[in-house]
Chain A
Amino acid sequence: GQNIDQPTEMTATEGAIVQINCTYQTSGFNGLFWYQQHAGEAPTFLSYNVLDGLEEKGRFSSFLSRSKGYSYLLLKELQMKDSASYLCAAGVHNNDMRFGAGTRLTVKP
């Protein structure tokens, strides 16, 4: 079966750094995606990791450890607009995805 776990909610301060963790157990694992979803809007792609290690893209970085079934999304220099849900999704089989429930991040001034 597919099991993807991430914290339900997190709160952080503007300008700070926050790390959102995700653990997964899936069959046919084929990479780990992170999506951002603002309330009432569609998810938008942030990152993809298929090899172990850290991928950096501006203020956002994503890390993967396949042996541990673990990933995290690191957000630096937080801005108010970063308040959103962050969805961890495991790529499975032929590059399809299964999503976690999402982590709702609130950035406070």
Chain B
Amino acid sequence: DTGVSQDPRHKITKRGQNVTFRCDPISEHNRLYWYRQTLGQGPEFLTYFQNEAQLEKSRLLSDRFSAERPKGSFSTLEIQRTEQGDSAMYLCASSFGASGRSPYNEQFFGPGTRLTVL
């Protein structure tokens, strides 16, 4: 297994455009998380899925943000009508969840997608 992958690694867009990011988790993991990280800050939780169900969304996630995980495997995060304040690193992570394989739900992070909104 090659770990969590994200695509694209970098995205530059103009304000008002829509962007979509993809995350491919580790294949056996049932949980998938999206975080946003700005310079000098820790990752901020956005949302997570258990299989295909979106179980929690942060209040940070405005109506312009939507995430899907249609078949319980890869996930997409879409930002509509991007704003300059959306510029950040978007991190995806996956885990087994609390289970016999990983009793403390260690999350494995992907390399991130760096978004720049001009």
Contacts and interface: CB of A to CB of B under 8 A. Distances in A.
Interface of A: 4, 8, 31, 33, 41-45, 48, 50, 87, 89, 91, 94-102, 104
Contacts of A31: 104
The binding surface of chain B is classed by DSSP as loop
B104 A42 contact: no
A48 B98 CA distance: 13
Nearest to A96: B48
B7 to A, nearest CB: 14
Interface of B: 4, 33, 35, 40-45, 48, 56, 91, 95, 97-98, 104-112
A89 B88 CA distance: 20
Among A45, A91, A94, A100: residue with most chain B CB under 10 A = A94
Contacts of A50: 104
B58 to A, nearest CB: 10
